[in-house]
C-alpha cells in the first residue's frame, strides 16, 4: 500500500493531511488533563494537580529525547503507528486508574508516547521537496498547534458533562483512529541505515557539536520560548487581580487567541521557502519584543493591550519556529529526527527557565518586571539572529 507518495521525496496531499492530523491528535494528549485538574483533585487530592500534568510534560520530553531519534534508523510510518497504538492503551489505563500513583504512571506513559507528534514533523520534512519544505512543515505544525489549542476546549467540555474518565477513554478512541489514519495515508519509506541505539544517541551530541546552524537556531528559538513561558505562567496572576478581576475561565480564554499563531505557520513556511529563514526569525523576535513593549506600557490597565500582546507573541514565536525548523531540517537529511530532538530539548530547557524567571520576576517586581524579563529574552533572541554568520551563506539557511 502506498497511499502517501507518488515517488521518493514526493509528498501527496493525502499524506500531508494525515501527518497534520496525527501531529495535532498526538500532542493534544499532554494537554487534556489541564482543564480536569479540579475534578482530579476532588477525587485524588491536591497532589493530583502536581503529578498528572508533570507526568505528561516530563514524559513528552523523555519521548523527544528517547524515541524521536529512532525515526532516523527505523521506518517512521511503523514507529508512528506503533506509538499511537501504545498511546491508546496508556489512555485506557489512565481512564481506568484506581488511584493517583496509577494515574501518574499512566500520565508519564501518555507523555512519552505522545511524542509521535514530533515524529510527524521530521517525516513531513523528509518527504517534502526542498523548494516547498517550509510550507509543508508549516502545515503540519498548524495541526500540532491547533491540537494544543483545541485539546483544552474539548477536554473541558467532555469532562464537565461526562467526567474526567470519559475524556481519557474518548482520547484512546482518537488515538486508535490516528493509528488507522497513519496506516492508510503515510508512505512506506526505505529502511534507513541501521544504527545501534547507543550510537544513535551519541550522534545527537555529535550533531550539536558540529552543526553551528543547529546551535544558533536552537538558541534563538529557545530564548523566544523562554519569553513566551515567562508571559504565560504569570498571565493569570495579572488578569485575576485588580483591575480586571477575571475568573480562571476568563483568563483561559486568552488561549483562544493562539489560533492566530497556528494559522500563521503555513505563511511563515512559504516565506521561508522564498526568502530564507533569517528574515522570518528576525521578524518573529521583533514581534515578540513589540508584544512586551505593549504589555509593559498598557497591560496593567487594558485587556485590549493584553489581547494584542498575546496575538503578537503567538505570531512571532510560531513564525520563527517554522523558519528555524525548516533551516535545521535542511542540514542533514538522514538525521532529521535527531536534529528535531536537539532543537526541542533546548527549547524545553529554556522554556522551564523562562517560566521560573517570569514567576520570580512577578513576585519581586510585579508585571513590569515580567515584561522586562520577556523583553530581555526576546532581545537576546534577536541579537542571536542578527549576528548569525551562517544566515547569509545560503537562501535556505
What DSSP string describes 90-103?
Answer: HHHHHHT-SSHHHH
Burial class of residue 292 (count of CB atoms within 10 Å of its CB; 0-12, 13-18, 19+): buried
Residues 6+ apart with CB under 8 A from 63: 111, 112, 113, 114, 115, 118
pLDDT-derived band at 333 (thresholds 50, 70, 90) equals: confident
What pLDDT was estimated at residue 337?
A: 84
Mean pLDDT calculated for residue range 139-154: 79
The three-state secondary structure class of 388 is coil
Asked if pLDDT for residue 107 goes beyond 60, the answer is yes
C-alpha cell at 322: 517554522
Domains for the chain: give ranges and CATH numbers. Answer: 13-186 (1.20.1250.20), 202-392 (1.20.1250.20)
Residue of 11 and 2 predicted with greater confidence: 11
Q: Residue 69 in contact with residue 19, Cβ under 8 Å? A: no
| Angle, helices 37-44/164-185, rounded to nearest 10 degrees | 130
How far CA 70 is from CA of 110, 215, 232, 286, in Å, comes to 18, 21, 32, 36
Alpha helices for the chain (secondary structure H): 13-27, 37-44, 48-66, 76-95, 100-113, 116-127, 133-162, 164-185, 197-210, 212-239, 248-252, 259-275, 278-298, 303-329, 336-386
Contacts of residue 376, defined as CB under 8 A and 6 or more positions apart, other chains included, come to none
**Cα–Cα distance between 113 and 88 in angstroms, integer?**
9
For 308-349, give the DSSP string.
HHHHHHHHHHHHHHHHHHHHHHTT-GGGHHHHHHHHHHHHHH
Cα–Cα distance, 67 to 60 (Å, whole number): 10
Say if CB 340 and CB 261 are below 8 A apart. no
Identify the pLDDT of residue 49: 76
Which grid cell is 248?
480562571
Q: What's CA 170's distance to the chain center, in Å?
A: 22
| Predicted pLDDT of residue 241 | 78
pLDDT tens track for 263-322: 777 788 788 888 888 899 999 999 999 999 999 999 888 999 999 998 999 899 989 998
The answer on pLDDT for 394 being more than 50 is: no
Top pLDDT among 395 and 200 is at 200
Q: What cell does 317 get?
A: 514565536
How remote is the C-alpha of 129 from its chain's centroid?
23
Cell digits for 369? 518586571
Q: Are 314 and 291 in contact (CB under 8 A)?
A: no
- The owner of cell 505593549 is 294
pLDDT tops 90 at residue 218: yes
Amino acid at each position: 500500500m502506498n497511499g502517501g507518495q507518488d515517488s521518493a521525496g514526493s509528498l501527496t496531499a493525502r499524506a500531508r493531511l494525515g501527518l497534520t492530523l496525527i501531529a495535532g491528535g498526538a500532542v493534544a494528549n499532554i494537554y487534556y488533563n489541564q482543564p480536569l485538574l479540579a475534578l482530579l483533585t476532588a477525587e485524588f487530592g491536591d497532589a493530583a494537580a502536581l503529578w498528572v500534568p508533570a507526568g505528561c510534560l516530563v514524559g513528552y520530553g523523555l519521548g523527544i529525547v528517547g524515541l524521536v531519534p529512532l525515526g532516523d534508523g527505523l521506518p517512521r510510518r511503523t514507529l508512528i503507528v506503533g506509538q499511537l497504538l501504545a498511546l491508546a492503551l496508556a489512555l485506557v489505563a489512565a481512564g481506568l486508574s484506581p488511584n493517583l500513583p496509577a494515574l501518574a504512571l499512566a500520565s508519564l506513559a501518555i507523555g512519552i508516547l505522545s511524542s509521535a507528534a514530533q515524529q510527524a514533523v521530521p517525516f513531513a520534512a523528509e518527504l517534502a521537496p526542498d523548494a516547498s519544505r517550509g510550507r509543508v512543515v508549516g502545515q503540519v505544525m498548524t495541526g500540532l498547534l491547533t491540537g494544543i489549542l483545541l485539546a483544552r476546549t474539548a477536554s473541558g467540555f467532555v469532562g464537565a458533562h461526562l467526567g474526567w474518565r470519559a475524556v481519557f477513554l474518548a482520547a484512546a478512541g482518537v488515538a486508535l483512529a490516528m493509528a488507522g489514519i497513519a496506516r492508510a495515508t503515510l508512505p512506506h519509506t526505505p529502511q534507513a541505515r541501521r544504527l545501534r541505539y547507543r550510537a544513535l544517541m551519541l550522534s545527537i551530541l555529535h550533531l550539536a557539536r558540529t552543526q553551528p546552524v543547529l546551535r544558533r537556531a536552537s538558541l534563538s528559538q529557545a530564548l523566544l520560548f523562554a519569553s513566551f513561558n515567562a508571559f504565560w505562567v504569570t498571565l493569570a496572576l495579572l488578569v485575576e487581580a485588580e483591575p480586571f478581576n477575571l475568573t480562571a475561565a476568563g483568563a483561559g480564554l486568552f488561549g483562544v487567541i493562539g489560533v492566530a499563531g497556528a494559522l500563521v505557520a503555513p505563511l511563515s513556511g512559504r516565506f521561508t521557502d522564498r526568502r530564507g529563514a533569517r528574515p522570518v526569525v528576525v521578524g518573529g523576535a521583533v514581534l515578540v519584543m513589540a508584544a512586551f513593549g505593549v504589555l509593559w506600557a498598557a497591560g496593567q490597565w487594558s485587556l485590549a493591550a493584553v489581547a494584542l500582546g498575546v496575538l503578537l507573541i503567538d505570531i512571532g514565536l510560531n513564525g520563527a519556529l517554522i523558519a528555524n525548523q525548516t533551516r535545521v531540517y535542511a542540514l542533514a537529511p538522514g538525521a532529521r529526527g535527531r536534529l528535531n530532538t536537539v532543537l526541542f530539548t533546548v527549547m524545553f530547557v529554556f522554556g522551564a527557565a523562562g517560566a521560573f524567571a517570569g514567576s520570580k520576576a512577578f513576585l519581586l517586581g510585579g508585571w513590569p518586571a515580567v515584561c522586562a524579563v520577556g523583553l530581555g529574552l526576546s532581545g537576546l533572541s534577536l541579537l542571536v539572529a542578527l549576528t548569525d554568520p551562517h544566515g547569509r551563506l545560503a537562501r535556505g539557511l
